[in-house]
Structure 1
């Protein structure tokens, strides 16, 4: 089951964009991937459309699905007049008669699926909605290259809010090794207030990820370490998986 705490991070879409937007290399990666697979694209866990909308602006028909309505509402405002359609749904149970040439998740959204059952439900959704030969892409942090130790609050980053104020971002982490789940607590400090949100993310190691994909109807085409398509090695921070729907 997806941890409801995870939704705390997605209640303020305007500041979410200001904090996490601007990953132009990632946007270009998915745009190039979409151009390689002509047809309609599906983004699961699309949020405010940070990646959805650059594809739509390039003329690619795309459907964005997310469970958090505040994020979708902002995506719809930003996407007016573009070939993007946004649907509120759970990626584990999403149903559509449409079939897609490319389905992707980004922002490490794969890690929000916190159990074997959740991961399998997600992969069933993807497999069901891909066209024959369609492509599935997602990225996830590599546990072998991640500090999974418990840490007290420490500074993480900063961003500038919609009023031009500097926001200090800090956080702590606690790892549940029995479930391979990291619990992060994020603190955002404005000049006049301080907010707290929690998020849980599951870490799946590389070998288990390959087994999970290949046993659920996917063929691994490429494995990258970054958005420049550097080949993945065991010490890479990121695992970007490019898969094809296997022929039955």
Structure 2
């Protein structure tokens, strides 16, 4: 079997942070480097903040995540603040210019009350005019239909295979199981996750209710407006 710590290490192999290769990473890197104080909600292993610091960010960087194994990898860099907790646990008041939720972490907020509490805490952590940047998969793209063994990802060293199995689609919440197996197909680890696929009107209603205005919203990392073929809903919301 694969331990939590090993799974966190594999996450970095499967999801490397590289603004030079990935437009999504470049999008967030530009925002982070332009902000004096940044709160990364759902920071995972902390690679976005690690990279920003290595590229000369001199301000305050804080990562918040509820997963001990992920934070265990993040804390190797001690010139960044690391806090254990979920989005709704954010307890700062007007301390940040920018809050982020990358890698579709926003979709982990599956219930209305959890979403409201999280948005309230994130807004409270921002200074007046502070911005919240995040992305969520556009439901019209039906990304979950591609989550199957035919689209598995292989890791060369050690030789492993990662794939997904959709368990249920209930309204706008998709529940699926992530599986890691060895080269001969033996399953070494499973983990079930639920993600919420909000449409644009519903998403924006939650943001407005929480005290945000939409500064920018697009359907691709190149700034293309949201349309019927968009795979993403990329949002920059501002505290008012």
Task: Answer yes or no: same fold by TM over 0.5.
Answer: yes
- Partner Cα separation in structure 1 for residue 174 and residue 8 of structure 2: 23
Aligned residues: 231
Pick from 136, 139, 142: which aligns with 1:140?
A: 136
Report the counterpart of residue 46 of structure 2 in structure 1.
49
Q: How does 1:45-124 map to 2 (within 5 A)?
A: 45-57=42-54, 58-59=56-57, 60-77=59-76, 79-80=77-78, 82=79, 84-97=80-93, 99-124=95-120
| CA distance in structure 1 between the partners assigned to 2:5 and 2:88 by the alignment | 18
1:226 aligns with 2:225: no
1:177 matched to 2:174 = no
| Aligned-partner SS, 1:51 | helix
When residues 122 and 10 of structure 1 are mapped into structure 2, their CA distance, relative to the original with a 3 A threshold, is farther
In angstroms, what is the RMSD of aligned CA positions? 2.3
TM-score (norm 2): 0.87
Deviations 1:199-236 (A, max 9, x none): 11111111111111122211111112233333322321
Q: Give runs of aligned pairs for residues 206-245 of structure 1, distance below 5 A.
A: 206-245=200-239
Q: 1:124 to 1:159 in 2, by over 3 A?
A: same
Partner of 1:4: none
How many Å apart are 1:54 and its aligned residue? 1.5
Residue 240 of structure 1, CA deviation: 0.7
CA contact (8 A) 1:154 1:171 kept: no
| Distance in 1 of aligned mates of 2:112 and 2:72 | 30
Structure 2: which 5+ runs fail to align? none
Instruction: Specify whether residues 11 and 214 from structure 1 end up closer, same or farther in structure 2 by C-alpha distance, changes over 3 A only.
Output: farther
Does 1:12 pair with 2:7? Answer: yes
C-alpha offsets along residues 118-140 of structure 1, whole Å, 9 cap, x if unaligned?
A: 11011001111100010011100
Answer whether contact 2:40 2:101 (CA < 8 A) is retained. Answer: yes
Determine the C-alpha separation between the residues in 2 that align with 1:111 and 1:10: 23
Deviates more, 1:168-177 or 1:13-22: 168-177
Taking the aligned partners of 2:139 and 2:72, their CA distance within structure 1 comes to 33
Deviates more, 1:8-17 or 1:112-121: 8-17
For the Cα contact (< 8 Å) 2:106–2:134, is it kept in 1?
yes
**Which 4+ stretches in 1 moved above 6 angstroms?**
8-11
- Alignment TM-score, normalising by the size of structure 1: 0.84
SS in 2 for 1:233: coil
Rate the CA distance shift 1:135–1:123 in 2: closer, same or farther, 3 A.
same
